[in-house]
Structure 1
Amino acid sequence: MRRSIQLGALGFFIVTSPLAHAAATQDESACECAAKPAQSPADTAFRKLYTDEWSWRQQQVSGDEDSGDAAIRPDLPDVSPEAQAKRLARWQSVEKSLDAIDRSALSPANRTNYDVYRQQISVLIGQQQFKDYQRPLNSDTSFWGNLASTARQSFTTETDYRNYLSQLNQMPRYFDQQIANMRAGLARGFTPPKITLQGRDDTVRSVIDVKTPQDSVFYKPFATMPANIPDATKAELRAEAVEAITRSVIPAHQKLLTFLTKDYIPNAQASIAAYDLPDGKAYYQSKIREFTTLDMTPAQIHQIGLDEVAEIRSQMLQTMKDAKFDGTLPQFLHFLRTGLQFYAKTPEELLKDAAWISKEFDGIASKWIGHLPRSRFAIEPVPADIAPYYTSGRGGPGIYLVNTYDLASRPLYSLPALTLHESAPGHAFQMPLAAENKDLPAFRQNTYISAYGEGWALYCEWLGQEMGMYKTPYDRFGMLSYQMWRAARLVVDTGIHSMGWSREQAQRYLHDNTALADQEIKTEVDRYIAWPGQALSYYIGEMTIRNDRARAEKALGPKFNIRAFHDAVLETGSVPLPVLTARIDKFIADGGKGPYPDEER
């Protein structure tokens, strides 16, 4: 999965899957890279509406997370109830303005933009109405952890440092607002389940338990500073950092730690089901729409999951035979979990293998995708303070994080699939392509719809078979186990949140059907428990892309070009699944012609 871009400060995801509003028709999915026709009054009104709102939206997001803007901003957000009410009112006003625009009068490109934008606004409204900002954490991300991630960004100017110092000094105010929101959520039973919060206070305690301010993660940007900053200024900034960490950062974390350990975690909800939250059935249904962009019931998704698990299981059995293993599937899974040959001996070995796989794809990238991103990515270990609660890997613009904690839970046979998903051609590839596509409006360049992004990344795992990335039956079994993992999520997520499944039942289901290590199973199930619906986006998205491709192959026959198809998928930016399907309808209608002129090479 991608690097987390949860905007816990605001209670919404700038990079999330919007609710489906309406499927686009075939001629509506043309991207803005086509020749631009004269703008109608409706186009002009729509452009002004989304431009003004997007500019305002960026001011609501600062300091604690990624917002599509690489600059270090000077302020942490205002997350008070008053500010949240103003956001809700603004987005409701935008929705009314969208209602007043005649969609049929828009250009084809803007009809697609309208569909994408309207769904973003719908999700933002829903998140505010359900007061997601009162739960600014889940099983592996939190508002305080997001702040720590800022310290790992690249600082290049004196302004970056001064803005960052401003953020550090605003932590007491910001933490007080977050704690007040969490208290309000606690009072109405709207918290993450207690079981998923165990140990989360450790990440707060690690900020407090430092010998000197210079040992703090928040001092990291000051340890090595750009040469273009004068030495005297460096000394001044470093002294201010020590002061800010001492007087603002540590006291804010101390207050948060007291709240978490004495009030929040002990009194968090005992139930793990979203149905048991306030207005829980409606809340979970809103999350299904948010993360799948489709109107589906929990029962429908559960059945799809059961059917897909059965199909993938048959493929796993065949791959087990290909590996010449004489035994049952449970015995094979035990063999994979315990065989020392399948695990790295050192963190460096795991990181180097991940790097090798990513470079191996580099060698064949142009055979499968015509338009490649300019952006590159680093491969780094997950930071030690969050690694025990973090997933196996996470990728995004400029980064592929590999979890080197508990190496016995990080099998090498799963690493090719993980790398294709998180690095290239997955998240660290697809997200930069959207950001670099200047023909898209900013709200499409810098947002992330989970059903599309996770669907593409999971499709990349499956595509690895055709690309020759799985060298052994074990590698292919690792890919199938990951496919099974995502299909099983459909069963587990709906089971937990709508059908009364226990945590142990969910863990057992993954244990019996995948080759995941038990540590990873525990981490993953807790993630699904604390983040209702998000796990549904992966397989639903992949199924859509594979179904769209099968339709295109059948309709186009020998005219089908895989590079052109992938370019058509990727040039849209992150879009709801009905919009993506409409784009492939147009791809078929255009005779398989993709968006770039050199795809036939």
Structure 2
Amino acid sequence: MPSICSVSVRAPLAALSVAVLMALAPVPALAAAAAPVAADKAAVAGDDSAAARFKALYTREWKWRQAQFAGGDDEDGPQGQPAARLPKVDPATQAERERYWAQVLKELDAIDAKQLEGEDPVNLEVFRQQIQSLLANQRVRQYEMPFNSDSAFWTNLGFTARRSFRDVDGYERYLGQLRDIPRYFDEQIVNMRAGLKRGFSVPRVTLTGRDVSIKEVVDAKLEDNLLYTPFKKMPATIPAAEQARLRAEAAKAIDASVLPAYRKLLRFMQDEYTPQARTTLAAEKMPGGEDYYRAKIREFTTLDLTPQQIHRIGVEEVAKIRAQMEQTIVKTGFKGTFPEFLHYLRTDPKFYPKSGDELLMRASWLAKRVDAEIGNYIGLLPRQRFAIKPVPPDLAPFYTAGRGGRDVYLVNTYDLPSRPLFNLPALTLHESAPGHSLQMSLAAEHEGLPDFRRYTYISAYGEGWALYTEKLGIEMGMYDTPYDYFGYLTYQMWRASRLVVDTGVHHLGWTREQSLAFLRDNTALSEHEIETEVDRYIGWPGQALSYYLGQMSIERSRAKAEQALGEDFDIRAFHDAVLALGSVPLPVLERRVDRFIEESRAKAAEKKRDAAAKKGAAAG
């Protein structure tokens, strides 16, 4: 899930907004960052070809983009170094970003795509989709709602805080972020107030208990404070005197900057934001809501589908999966009704871990089983390894069952009676390998792609691939019992149900209770998961649509390739072709598979000619 997820670097793991992208450098002055177009021409040393202008444009924009969001989420920054401050998010900066991306789009439109060759036509399409999404979010002023029921700007700081820094410079930079929190929070509060004023806010119903992660920072003693975490264990290569100085600076920064800022944010959330948050649920009920929801659908699915079309697809897919679930129940030997079977799964202790360690160990065992099979299905594997860790306690109560990123698979050990073991095979496939961890690592290691394809995350592709790998688990032999297979089906049903619930809430006016009831009636998810998921869909319009539509696209493409190639179809080559793309819009993926079919036919024909020639030579 990355599963925390559109154009973001770690959308699965951090659930970042479209604007919170990989941070690689301190934020410069906006005027300096927005270099004039003439600089692009100088950079290509007089080469005014379409390819040179395009490369200069995306190189300039990517560098600018990274600088803009430095500090917002540094986990995947180069060499592990954090930025020295947090991003600027004030209205003037937001207006400058809108102007900048509008200019980039104008320059992009001036490039003749017909003159581009090689991989550049795909690069152009991917880059355009990213810029359009970034610009669309500025125009709807998404920054006035900088959090949802799943993640928030203040919780994102925790991902940096949980890291270790290898030298004094890394700690000094992190201290710069701590000292910058008051300015950063104040700017976010100004934006949220503007959103409240125009009725653009997170729905009030999803806010209950969401201030816990703020309270935990406010109430913690220094040694237990999340933001002090990097100073508890420091590298032995840093002299003891320097360690003591850095710890003293951290204590001072937390006392003077962090705690006052968090207290102010807590008062704002409790006394102002929550009481004034909108009581409606539908995105379409906000100002300009219909256009906003359509923009979110395009952003997260990369498709031009209406809410009605998506809802209809969801209803049809739910019916198909329900029939498969009924067949699987028969195989378990259970004699009751479908609701009775779901009750049995939700209440029998044998289906649930007795400890967090048991859950983590079972996930680790499943991941190692994948290691034994994965080479039969994917040719090129990444060098990056991933760890398996519990979800941090400050996030766990409202976090999903698991999240995957390039270097970690987080498993939620909170509320064990809501973590059924029969769902774990599908979850592990999705979040680690061959799902998010593998796909994101391969993209980052693909040096032949420009950075804007290696380090960004398009939800429809990334979540579609991860969901597809759950189905690939059938071929890999990962579902040992009918209950495991039912767990796989309940995860498929869960994602298909999202098409129904997301459009139901944001277009058809469904209530929260209707949405909860739909998941209760059709999936084996626990009540805790059902509630956290529905609140996620309510507070994050459109994101939930990316999973199943993305999987359907990959499945259609594979079926097309299998039918076209017959015995010449190579599953490893097919997956390598899909994964080599990085992260792309679904239409780009489907066209790449068309090219894969042509290339595979050509290779098969050449192989047959060579075989015939050898046979002829032998006969002669």
Structure-1-length-normalised TM-score: 0.93
| 1:239-258 alignment runs, 5 A limit | 239-258=248-267
Percent identity, aligned pairs only, is 56
Partner residue of 2:21 out of 8, 14, 22: 14
User: Aligned pair 1:71/2:78, yes or no?
Assistant: no
Contact 1:136 1:142 in 2 (8 A): yes
User: Aligned pair 1:99/2:109, yes or no?
Assistant: yes
CA RMSD of aligned residues (A): 1.4
Give the distance between the partners of 1:480 and 1:336, measured in 2 at CA: 13
Aligned residue identity for 2:242: T
Contact 1:416 1:470 in 2 (8 A): yes
Quote the offset at 1:108 in angstroms: 3.0
Give the distance between the partners of 2:18 and 2:353, measured in 1 at CA: 38
Quote the offset at 1:473 in angstroms: 0.3
User: Aligned pair 1:584/2:593, yes or no?
Assistant: yes
Match of 1:179 in 2: 189
Match of 1:168 in 2: 178
Match of 1:599 in 2: none
Match of 1:208 in 2: 218
CA change 1:548–1:40 in 2 (3 A) is: farther
Quote the offset at 1:200 in angstroms: 1.1
Partner residue of 1:157 out of 127, 149, 167: 167
SS across alignment from 2:404: strand
Give the distance between the partners of 1:222 and 1:121, measured in 2 at CA: 38
Partner residue of 1:229 out of 238, 250, 261: 238
Match of 1:531 in 2: 540
Deviations along 1:144-191, one digit per CA (max 9) or x if unpaired, are: 000111111231121110000000000011110001000000111100
User: Aligned pair 1:426/2:435, yes or no?
Assistant: yes
Give the distance between the partners of 1:444 and 1:68, measured in 2 at CA: 14
Aligned residue identity for 1:513: N
Give the distance between the partners of 1:238 and 1:59, measured in 2 at CA: 28
| 1:356-505 alignment runs, 5 A limit | 356-505=365-514
Quote the offset at 1:64 in angstroms: 2.3
Aligned residue identity for 2:55: R
CA change 1:296–1:9 in 2 (3 A) is: closer
5+ long unaligned stretches in structure 2 = 5-9, 23-46, 604-620
| 1:550-565 alignment runs, 5 A limit | 550-565=559-574
Partner residue of 1:80 out of 90, 113, 121: 90
Partner residue of 1:190 out of 200, 214, 219: 200
Give the distance between the partners of 1:57 and 1:73, measured in 2 at CA: 14
Contact 2:21 2:65 in 1 (8 A): no
Quote the offset at 1:68 in angstroms: 4.2
Match of 2:40 in 1: none
SS across alignment from 1:590: helix
| 1:334-353 alignment runs, 5 A limit | 334-353=343-362
User: Aligned pair 1:45/2:47, yes or no?
Assistant: no
Quote the offset at 1:227 in angstroms: 1.5
Give the distance between the partners of 2:259 and 2:556, measured in 1 at CA: 52
Match of 1:27 in 2: none
Aligned residue identity for 2:81: A
Quote the offset at 1:448 in angstroms: 0.1
Aligned residue identity for 2:71: G
Stretch of structure 1 that moved more, 69-78 or 407-416: 69-78
Deviations along 1:9-48, one digit per CA (max 9) or x if unpaired, are: 9862538xxxxxxxxxxxxxxxxxxxxxxx9810000000
Give the distance between the partners of 2:417 and 2:104, measured in 1 at CA: 50
Greater length-normalized contact order (CA 8 Å, ≥ 6 residues apart): 1
Contact 2:463 2:547 in 1 (8 A): yes
Match of 1:317 in 2: 326
Deviations along 1:69-118, one digit per CA (max 9) or x if unpaired, are: 23211010110000000001000000000111000001131000000000
Contact 2:75 2:160 in 1 (8 A): no
Give the distance between the partners of 2:199 and 2:2, measured in 1 at CA: 29
Contact 1:416 1:475 in 2 (8 A): yes
SS across alignment from 2:272: helix
CA change 1:476–1:592 in 2 (3 A) is: farther
Contact 1:67 1:446 in 2 (8 A): no
5+ long unaligned stretches in structure 1 = 16-38, 595-601
Contact 1:14 1:67 in 2 (8 A): no
Contact 2:3 2:463 in 1 (8 A): no
Partner residue of 2:70 out of 62, 70, 74: 62
Quote the offset at 1:210 in angstroms: 1.4
Give the distance between the partners of 1:9 and 1:416, measured in 2 at CA: 26
CA change 1:340–1:106 in 2 (3 A) is: same
Match of 1:26 in 2: none
Give the distance between the partners of 1:574 and 1:458, measured in 2 at CA: 15
Quote the offset at 1:309 in angstroms: 0.4
CA change 1:504–1:10 in 2 (3 A) is: closer
Aligned residue identity for 1:412: L
Aligned residue identity for 1:2: P
Match of 1:130 in 2: 140
Stretch of structure 1 that moved more, 321-330 or 61-70: 61-70
Aligned residue identity for 2:150: D
Contact 2:3 2:15 in 1 (8 A): no
User: Aligned pair 1:145/2:187, yes or no?
Assistant: no
Contact 1:325 1:332 in 2 (8 A): yes
Contact 2:442 2:580 in 1 (8 A): yes
CA change 1:40–1:360 in 2 (3 A) is: farther
Structure-2-length-normalised TM-score: 0.90
Give the distance between the partners of 1:428 and 1:9, measured in 2 at CA: 17
Contact 1:14 1:448 in 2 (8 A): no
Give the distance between the partners of 2:516 and 2:16, measured in 1 at CA: 31
Give the distance between the partners of 1:499 and 1:67, measured in 2 at CA: 38
Stretch of structure 1 that moved more, 466-475 or 149-158: 149-158
User: Which structure has the greater CA radius of gyration?
Assistant: 2
Quote the offset at 1:592 in angstroms: 5.9
SS across alignment from 1:108: coil
Match of 2:2 in 1: 2
SS across alignment from 1:270: coil
Match of 2:39 in 1: none
Aligned residue identity for 2:262: H
Contact 1:564 1:593 in 2 (8 A): no
Quote the offset at 1:553 in angstroms: 0.2
Give the distance between the partners of 1:568 and 1:529, measured in 2 at CA: 35
Give the distance between the partners of 2:67 and 2:374, measured in 1 at CA: 37
Stretch of structure 1 that moved more, 114-123 or 145-154: 145-154
